[in-house]
Structure 1
């Protein structure tokens, strides 16, 4: 049996509060000539018009699809990795997540689309603690952690028992393993610190502890969750040198 140091036990209790998460056809031949004559040499084929070069924009759009001018203006110019979480509706807990990477010619290439969950009551432009909505916006991804050892991320990684997730979710599903891997979303937090840090620059009333974490099969209290294999992939792919951010909200809000 593991006996927790008092500070670790306090962090374990605080972690649940910090997260805000529960949870063409061939040509036909013509008639033969009536006279015998050597066949005329075949006409040389008509030169083909040079094909227009494939535009980089067609291969990799300059702007990530689905993001309107207002949302796009919030994406930092130096961001080379963008996780876009698109909610099904303003009040829906169902969403999808796609990692987009900026190419050498400044276009954007999309990765696979992953099923995800967000908060029980959907999304909010003005998130408050306990409102069971996920904050809409563009936020940095600077720090990670989890109950399990670092899977090979370039992000600073804090491992420990304080990432234990007890209890059940809104649909009765067990929450165990939800915080095996987490990536802190820089909403109302101090970047450069462990996801467990309690600093709330906008005050506790505005909530905090909004994470990307392992999906437990139901809505969250405020976080975004994806399958464990996708969390590992994100952790191994995100690179601080590429200034990764998350852009999240329901589809109508992101299209603004």
Structure 2
């Protein structure tokens, strides 16, 4: 079997799992803001289904948000919704069925726990084994770097055609496949948005190819995009 972010398998550097690179390293989680800017105020319109606890982690200048609504804290099934802020209201701009960690969600993510971290994280870097489809985020095309995570003919061979790095325990402004882990390897990391393969992951969030193309062509660094993710119960707290 091969490596691929979010499915199963032992891998190299920060890879683990058939879903490709597995989570390996530090974690922002609920106690760290998605970005270093000012945080979202209590007053004002919130993202649908997002409670005050996580809303505080969303920078006030964010005008694009990818919200991952997990079905249940122990479920790998979820829904991804893209929102854009128009004037003072968050408007729905797209929605796709998705998958998250095969064992669900956690507020204390660790390497190889097969759960996705609950929280709000910035989105700054993208890439893939296919050429840039028109990404607004900086895009690193590298067929060898991404293809090396899977074996030819493997069912996960196309997982990393397009990826967006979730800024969870990673350096910003570097390729998604950079395995630096500022908060340490044991806290997990290497968590991406990438192409769906039909089941749960090691920690990543997966969406259909059409969704990845839309996200890449829509998310704009000037609008400070974030991903807000977790099971519905804890998202709404």
- With normalisation by structure 2, the TM-score equals 0.81
Deviation at 1:188, TM superposition (A): 0.5
Corresponding position: 1:203 with 2:184? yes
Deviation at 1:19, TM superposition (A): 2.6
Unaligned ranges ≥5, structure 1: 1-11, 22-60
Superposed counterparts of 1:94-113, under 5 Å? 94-103=77-86, 105-113=87-95
2:138 to 153, 156, 159: 156
CA contact (8 A) 2:114 2:203 kept: yes
SS at match of 1:231: helix
Deviation at 1:159, TM superposition (A): 1.1
SS at match of 1:176: coil
1:93 to 76, 79, 85: 76
Greater per-residue strand proportion: 2
Report the Cα distance in structure 2 between the residues aligned to 1:111 and 1:183, rounded to whole angstroms: 18
- With normalisation by structure 1, the TM-score equals 0.75
CA contact (8 A) 2:83 2:94 kept: no
Deviation at 1:201, TM superposition (A): 1.1
CA contact (8 A) 2:14 2:189 kept: no
In the other structure, the counterpart of 2:37 is none
Report the Cα distance in structure 2 between the residues aligned to 1:113 and 1:155, rounded to whole angstroms: 20
Corresponding position: 1:253 with 2:237? no
Between 206-215 and 158-167, the greater mean CA deviation after superposition = 158-167
Report the Cα distance in structure 2 between the residues aligned to 1:167 and 1:121, rounded to whole angstroms: 25
In the other structure, the counterpart of 1:219 is 200
Pairwise CA RMSD: 1.9
**Partner deviation per Cα, 1:31-79 (whole Å, 9 max, x = no partner):** xxxxxxxxxxxxxxxxxxxxxxxxxxxxxx9221101111111111000
Superposed counterparts of 1:135-174, under 5 Å? 135-160=117-142, 161-164=144-147, 165-166=149-150, 174=155
Greater per-residue helix proportion: 1
Superposed counterparts of 1:1-256, under 5 Å? 13-14=12-13, 16-17=15-16, 19-20=21-22, 62-103=45-86, 105-160=87-142, 161-164=144-147, 165-166=149-150, 174-256=155-237
SS at match of 1:82: strand
* Aligned residue-pair number: 201
In the other structure, the counterpart of 2:6 is none
**Partner deviation per Cα, 1:200-222 (whole Å, 9 max, x = no partner):** 11100001100000001111111
Unaligned ranges ≥5, structure 2: 1-10, 24-43
